[in-house]
Structure 1
Amino acid sequence: MSKFKKKKGGELPAVNTASLPDIVFMLLFFFMVVTVLRDSNLLVKNDLPKADQVEKLKKDRSVYIFAGRPSQRYQDKYGKEGRIQIGDKYTDVSSLKSALAETRAKLRPELQDKVMVALKVDEDTNTGLVTDIKQELREMNMLKIIYITSPGNQVDN
């Protein structure tokens, strides 16, 4: 009669999976919070001009205006002339004020008076279209304009 008995098998105990759903939901919420969704679908061709002195700016108070010819898949419907895009819609120069006012209203109230307009203009776009956009911006008193470029040197290309 021995007091000590040997275990009858060297099996490992089962893994406790009770906290697994908690971990899965925590990861799900993490990825939902940190994922950035695309704001708009680009309808215009957008080969940006090159610049050798570029600076990264904050996006929180910017309104983006895209200008250029329609992309290949939209040329049958909209033609090959330069167009203006704000958000997911084409806009012409005459309705640019209302589209900008609508986009400005979507910003936080404290930033609506400090709006920067970011122009993403295709390098082959007619200068007259850019001049018309800038004239409309002057009339709306949106005087802070940034031109978005891609890094590089235009002379090298």
Structure 2
Amino acid sequence: MNTFKNKKNQKLPEISTASLPDIVFMLLFFFMVATVMREDTLMIENRLPYADQVERLENKNLVMSIYAGKPSSRYIYVGDEAKIQLNDKFASLQEIKSFILSERAGKRDAEIPFLITALKVDKDTKMGLVGDIKKELRAVNALKINYTTRNGDVANNSQ
């Protein structure tokens, strides 16, 4: 004959935590791959000009960025003249040489000939400042220069 067992006295089985480390490492790996690291905090206005013949750079870790433009509204205390930004601080023209040399020092010797200086200049910035930046770059033999632009019609630059 069948007998019925009383299930009231039985405990629930414990939850297995054997797969918990796998789940944690899978989440860690996902966030490491999906997270984008911030490059620089822009302290200037940076409305890039339009260009119709644009090429994308292949290797971004060989690019040194120099920003130029008027300070943004949060940094109006430094004046309203166009400024140079290197990494996360305002800089003078004389600091460009040391910036380029320190960036080169952080790279391997085989990468140094392939370093590119990207000028990210606001479209309202005077060309005199750009010419001064280029003169400082020539002094440290940083001759590979890239002008960063947006893809679009050149007629939009006058707006």
TM-score by length of 2: 0.83
Shift of 1:107: 2.7
Structure 1, 39-48 or 22-31: larger mean CA deviation = 22-31
Structure 2 counterpart of 1:81: 81
Structure 2 counterpart of 1:107: 107
- Whole-angstrom CA distance in 2 between matches of 1:35 and 1:105: 27
Any runs of at least 4 consecutive aligned residues in structure 1 with deviations exceeding 3 A, and if so which?
A: 5-9, 13-17
Kept in 2, the 8 Å contact 1:91–1:99? The answer is no
SS at 1:90 equivalent: strand
Amino acid at match of 2:138: R
- Whole-angstrom CA distance in 2 between matches of 1:134 and 1:103: 17
Shift of 1:36: 2.2
- Whole-angstrom CA distance in 2 between matches of 1:95 and 1:146: 19
Structure 1 counterpart of 2:10: none
Gaps of 5+ in 2: 8-12
Shift of 1:15: 6.6
Structure 1, 109-118 or 57-66: larger mean CA deviation = 109-118
Structure 1, 106-115 or 93-102: larger mean CA deviation = 106-115
Structure 2 counterpart of 1:62: 63
Amino acid at match of 2:70: R
Shift of 1:133: 0.5
- Whole-angstrom CA distance in 2 between matches of 1:109 and 1:8: 77
Query: How well do the aligned residues superpose, as a CA RMSD in angstroms?
Result: 2.4
Structure 1 counterpart of 2:24: 24
Amino acid at match of 1:122: D
Q: What pairs up with 1:19-58 in 2 under 5 angstroms?
A: 19-58=19-58
TM-score by length of 1: 0.84
- Whole-angstrom CA distance in 2 between matches of 1:53 and 1:8: 80
Call closer, same or farther: CA 1:34–1:111 in 2, change over 3 Å.
Answer: farther
Kept in 2, the 8 Å contact 1:68–1:125? The answer is yes
Amino acid at match of 2:132: D
Kept in 2, the 8 Å contact 1:63–1:104? The answer is no
Shift of 1:108: 3.4
Structure 1, 19-28 or 83-92: larger mean CA deviation = 19-28
Structure 2 counterpart of 1:122: 122
Amino acid at match of 1:71: S
Q: How many residues align?
A: 152
Percent of paired sites with the same residue? 50
- Whole-angstrom CA distance in 2 between matches of 1:130 and 1:49: 14
